[in-house]
Structure 1
Amino acid sequence: MSDMQTKPATAAAPATGATMLQIRGIHTFYGQIEALKGVDLDVRQGEIVTLIGSNGAGKSTLLMTICGTPAARAGSIVFEGKDITRLPTFQIMRLGIAQSPEGRRIFPRMTVMENLQMGALTTDEAHFAGDLERIFTLFPILKKRQGQRGGTLSGGEQQMLAIGRALMSRPRLLLLDEPSLGLAPLIVRQIFEVIRDINRTEGMTVFLVEQNAYHALRLAHRGYVMVNGQITMSGSGRELLANSEVRSAYLEGGH
């Protein structure tokens, strides 16, 4: 693995540096197929860290493994000093991790408000009104759509709802899986601006999986490149953007 010296990334430098998520030697299988082959990765408190790679590289599998489904067959995942490798998903989520999954996976028959209520199930009811107002400030369109069924929203609105639902659980670590997938460029910029905003203003730690390497690396403090279930390169977002191998594999042909 190529590990570059850290330089200032395009995003503002995080205020803290304590390791929040530590992944060591993770091997994950689907049946007999090895999807992750000894992955090592760190996310420090207050950072935006991105994982880029081509479709099928194993990026989403890593996020799902962090959440316990599928479970890692070997290696360790430590969150805020606690080994979560063998914990069931519901216990992992209660520790302060939330995921906005690939494909959004909102509840299509529920209204926007009901989806947001589902996100808040593990939190103190006393926080609900304030947290809801925070989501409506981040995504004003959701306030206008709060009585509308999730399945009738546009793709961009559904992505906003998926992120909003995750944030309603008051996570300390937000996992985002392909938030730009299938969205128009204008909506992509809006989504990434919100990610930057919650990191800068709230100190939210974000682990972002993305195929859109250009936007992801511009946003991230640090990044990793995954190829065939293995980390092949790491460095600051700016370094990876400038790296000839990364540019050739993921950035050629425009942004």
Structure 2
Amino acid sequence: MTQTLAERAVTRKAPLLAIRGVKTYYGKIVALKGVDLDVQEGEIVTLIGANGAGKSTLMMTIFGSPRAREGVISFDGRDITRLPTHEIARLSIAQSPEGRRIFARMTVYENLQMGASINKFAYFDQDLERVFALFPRLKERINQRGGTMSGGEQQMLAIARALMSRPRLLLLDEPSLGLAPLIVKQIFDAVKLLNKSEGLTVFLVEQNAFHALKLADRGYVMVNGVITMSGTGRELLAKPEVRAAYLEGGHH
């Protein structure tokens, strides 16, 4: 069936990730109160907000744990709201979770194998070279156990492990948390490079609003489980209320 140009334009504009009216509960506590958010293919989108605003809850809800009690989450036009987590992972969505959660007793190499297992090691050698080019430190540490590495190295490993499955969408949860500024810069530079050179779509949850908004095409602000503002990264950086809440005492 051939599509007209107008139909094709409409089809193309559907977001890669669409979140509509999502509500998530912890017991009786409403953590997300009807969240609407879009990530277009090829974009870097960031979600900023204070600690406890619900940012990580949204990231985990996309992956089905906890599950959205109301609303719809769709990826590439497919409703994934009720899918089990392992099935979501097979759809070319990868997550580098908050707190890194690498396999501490496994070596760097074994952790990367775990990431590649999702697509059955289809491009293993190629992807190993790719992540080592991004994070040369990991190549030096290839036989070292994950748990004995520094926080920055573990964060690099968590991202590299996610990349080994060749995702179309990379979810990054607080990648700069607790890391030295130089390491944070390396990680953000790597994300920017992946986006520019490979067109990787990235959804980033960050407390470091300045770095995140500088990196992002678009951003959203979350307060108490509700999206209160959205715009381009530059627009949000310029807003006095964003500066006052998230940037004062930091960068200007």
TM range (shorter): over 0.9
Paired residue secondary structure (1:99): strand
* Pairwise CA distance, 1:122: 1.4
2:74 is the counterpart of 1:78: yes
SS of aligned partner of 1:194: helix
Which of 233, 237, 240 is the matching residue for 2:233?
A: 237
Task: Give the structure-1-normalised TM-score.
Answer: 0.93
Mapped partners of 1:179, 1:88: distance in 2: 25
Give a deviation string over 1:43-67, Cα, whole Å, max 9, x none: 0000000000000000000000000
- Alpha-carbon contact 2:14-2:77 (below 8 Å) kept: no
The structural deviation recorded for 1:18 is 4.3
Cα distance, 1:125 vs. partner? 2.6
Deviation at 1:141, TM superposition (A): 0.5
CA RMSD of aligned residues (A): 0.9
Deviations 1:32-89 (A, max 9, x none): 1100000000000000000000000000000000000000000000100100000000
Confirm or deny that 1:143 pairs with 2:136: no
Residue of structure 1 in register with 2:97 after alignment: 101
Q: CA deviation at 1:151?
A: 0.4
* C-alpha distance in 1 between matches for 2:14 and 2:138: 34
Q: Alpha-carbon deviation of 1:191?
A: 0.4
Counterpart in 1 of 2:22? Answer: 26
What do the CA deviations read for 1:174-213 (whole angstroms, capped 9, x no partner)? 0000000000000000000000000000000000000000
Distance 2:195 2:13 in 1: 14
Residue 130 of structure 1 is aligned with which of 126, 149, 163?
126
1:63 aligns with 59
In 2, distance between residues paired with 1:18 and 1:24?
13
User: Match of 2:17, SS?
Assistant: strand
Report if aligned partners of 1:17, 1:46 keep a CA contact under 8 Å in 2. Answer: no
Aligned mates of 1:223, 1:48 — CA distance in 2: 9
Q: SS at 1:42's partner residue?
A: strand
Larger RCO, structures 1/2 (Cα 8 Å, 6+ apart): 1
Match of residue 216 from structure 1: 212
Q: TM-score, normalised by structure 2?
A: 0.94
Describe the SS at the equivalent of 2:37: strand
- Which residue does 2:174 correspond to in 1? 178
Displacement of 1:123: 1.1
Tell which deviates more after alignment, 17-26 or 174-183: 17-26
Unmatched runs of 5 consecutive residues or more in structure 2: 1-11
1:95 is paired with a residue of what secondary structure? coil
- Measured against aligned partners, the alpha-carbon deviations of 1:125-166 in whole angstroms (never above 9, x if no partner) come to 341000010000000000010000000100000000000000
Distance (whole Å) between structure 2 residues aligned to residue 216 and residue 34 of structure 1: 26
CA distance in 2, matches of 1:18, 1:40: 14
Corresponding residue for residue 206 of structure 1: 202
Name the structure 1 match of 2:6: none
Selected match of 1:250 from 237, 246, 251: 246
Which residue number in structure 2 is paired with residue 195 of structure 1? 191
Q: Percent identity?
A: 74
Name the aligned partner's letter for residue 98 of structure 1: A
